[in-house]
Structure 1
């Protein structure tokens, strides 16, 4: 019997072979200058031969100060296009998946060491840099960012557009705008991190204004036939913070200006968050936004296996299933989901004899 997980899905002109998406996963492994190297070739290439419908590459900074760490990817320079194109070409040569990229700016949470090297804020002597934010309110325990003035906001918007054009030159099929996890655009949305008193602060309309302006500028620069989505933090998990009702409203506004899907993650604005973690714990956010805003969603968050993913799709809680840590732990997640559900996922011919149906054939 056919399943939803292994049925095709279209976003504008882009047709995915199935509903499995590899989430953007920070690798902290860029070469000097924010350039993709051999690690990314291996990482994305390994996932590409495993049969997902879509891979979205990691958060990629549109400005040098927008990197989370000194070894994060960037698209602020034409010099960075070639490394990404090399990864895309390799993935396409050996797999059937479509490839997207997430454009990002870390804002007041930038300038930290990779997680396996403490993850702590870096001083200038350690290679760190000054951070920026919607206001000078710091992420608790870190130095205060510089509040972005009107000129800096305009320049930043231009840099998002320039990165969009470079993503097109590199050959990506899809773009995702990062508005989650306490990074810059998410910090505009939450009243816990935005205390501006101008048109970009105050009530929810003011706090949404700059992220919506950025999205609109990217949409105008990105080809009409290619999809553009947004990852959000659906809730801050803190009283008086951003919540799911705000997210539904934001999703409606995004849909009205050309957004094709929402990926609802959560948290990241303040360390005081109290997250209730468990099996599929963020799936209800996907369901609420899909129903409330009438927009396609990608469900994320401790989705265990193919059967669990199929249940989410059958319930109408999402249109796509995004797997992150589960894919790095088991890069053949798609193959195993297909086997469990009695379906077929793409196998490169070099690996075809490893399929259970062929193990007893002569060597």
Structure 2
């Protein structure tokens, strides 16, 4: 039996396989609201064969968006925009639908990647970003405003409100974004956190605010539904956040009921030096899993079914999440199941796509037609 296509349980959520469609920013929202592009994107990849689809980084306040095109869930309009999209996905797909809640912090007010990705000046329609400290992401950028107690409380409550909206939308699971140089990662890393109060300096202080946010979200999201977190295991910069601190932080999250650690890396500074290669982040997921016993999700240049199978079968991670691989092949899960002897769900209109040599790919052996 394929390890990748074996079931896994996350609290009350039962998944038929170990594949997640990774949250992927689309930079295509209108004023934070999902639109026809998101309808196409979500409904397409909800039929990929992955047991869980995670909606892209969904920002908890308008100034927390990375770009003007980023998705949000911070008012009635952004909530309402997702209702018909999710209704369609539920009607035709059995995949669980998760959502990644995020705040960009100092990496906000940026152009879309295909429009340079650089910071948008206030004079050109940008906004004042916020962060743990008034330290810009890179030299030459405008500095973010350092968050005071009022700002910290506002953002914490924004995460809570977004989690409550997600529950009203029927979202099955949440993932908090604590990676890639965004706000919670900015608190964790000594590269970006230069505070001298209870939220800066020591390891215990730097993890305090992300823990507060996690606890607040976990408190309001239904107990039966899982809440995970994505972390950058290393900044890839000397003196920055590293694997040892990631493991220690994961242990604190475990005490608070975290359901998975989605293990990524980098993003805190353009000075990072990342040795890219197939599965280059998998050893981080392996290390976190071995040290903590937590469910981990491996990500990063995982493209081949045999590669994903080996990661799960060898115990390096409990699940894999694919991003670019899913964009390139929106039926990646089908093809992986065919190669590995697994079974996936597909809507009836697609059953006849099943090649003759894979008669039980969809759990169906016949397809009647007149």
Normalised by the length of structure 2, the TM-score is 0.95
Deviation at 1:25, TM superposition (A): 0.1
In structure 1, the partner of 2:364 is none
Structure 1 residue ranges (4+ consecutive) displaced by more than 4 angstroms after TM superposition: 358-363
Q: In structure 1, what is the Cα distance between the partners aligned to 2:84 and 2:317?
A: 32
1:346 aligns with 2:345: yes
In structure 2, the partner of 1:101 is 99
Q: Check whether the contact 1:85–1:171 (CA below 8 A) recurs between aligned residues.
A: no
In structure 1, the partner of 2:85 is 87
Runs of 5+ in structure 2 lacking a partner?
360-366
Q: Check whether the contact 2:232–2:264 (CA below 8 A) recurs between aligned residues.
A: yes
1:294-343 deviations in Å (ceiling 9; x for gaps): 10000001112111111001111111110011000110100110111122
In structure 1, the partner of 2:123 is 125
1:264-284 deviations in Å (ceiling 9; x for gaps): 100000111111111110000
Number of equivalenced pairs: 361
In structure 2, the partner of 1:182 is 181
Q: Check whether the contact 1:353–1:359 (CA below 8 A) recurs between aligned residues.
A: no
Deviation at 1:359, TM superposition (A): 10
Normalised by the length of structure 1, the TM-score is 0.97
SS in 2 for 1:258: coil
Q: Check whether the contact 2:338–2:358 (CA below 8 A) recurs between aligned residues.
A: no
In structure 2, the partner of 1:62 is 60
In structure 2, the partner of 1:273 is 272
In structure 2, the partner of 1:326 is 325
Q: In structure 2, what is the Cα distance between the partners aligned to 1:336 and 1:296?
A: 25
1:194 aligns with 2:182: no
In structure 2, the partner of 1:298 is 297
1:238-267 deviations in Å (ceiling 9; x for gaps): 111111010000100011011000001000
Q: In structure 2, what is the Cα distance between the partners aligned to 1:342 and 1:17?
A: 14
In structure 2, the partner of 1:110 is 108
Q: Check whether the contact 2:312–2:319 (CA below 8 A) recurs between aligned residues.
A: yes
SS in 1 for 2:302: coil
Deviation at 1:49, TM superposition (A): 1.6
Q: Check whether the contact 2:4–2:313 (CA below 8 A) recurs between aligned residues.
A: no
Deviation at 1:185, TM superposition (A): 0.5
1:119-156 deviations in Å (ceiling 9; x for gaps): 11112232210000000011113210000001111111
SS in 1 for 2:73: coil
Deviation at 1:358, TM superposition (A): 7.7
Q: In structure 1, what is the Cα distance between the partners aligned to 2:269 and 2:52?
A: 31
Runs of 5+ in structure 1 lacking a partner?
none
Q: In structure 2, what is the Cα distance between the partners aligned to 1:103 and 1:113?
A: 20
RMSD, aligned CA: 1.5
Q: In structure 2, what is the Cα distance between the partners aligned to 1:350 and 1:118?
A: 41
Aligned pairs (5 A) from 1:219-234:
219-234=218-233
1:135-189 deviations in Å (ceiling 9; x for gaps): 0011113210000001111111111111110111111000000000000110000
Q: Check whether the contact 2:181–2:269 (CA below 8 A) recurs between aligned residues.
A: yes
Q: Check whether the contact 1:14–1:227 (CA below 8 A) recurs between aligned residues.
A: yes
Deviation at 1:79, TM superposition (A): 1.8
Q: Check whether the contact 2:33–2:78 (CA below 8 A) recurs between aligned residues.
A: yes
1:246 aligns with 2:245: yes
Q: Check whether the contact 2:263–2:298 (CA below 8 A) recurs between aligned residues.
A: yes
For residues 359 and 165 of structure 1, do their structure 2 counterparts lie closer, same or farther at Cα, with a shift above 3 Å needed? Answer: closer
Deviation at 1:30, TM superposition (A): 0.7
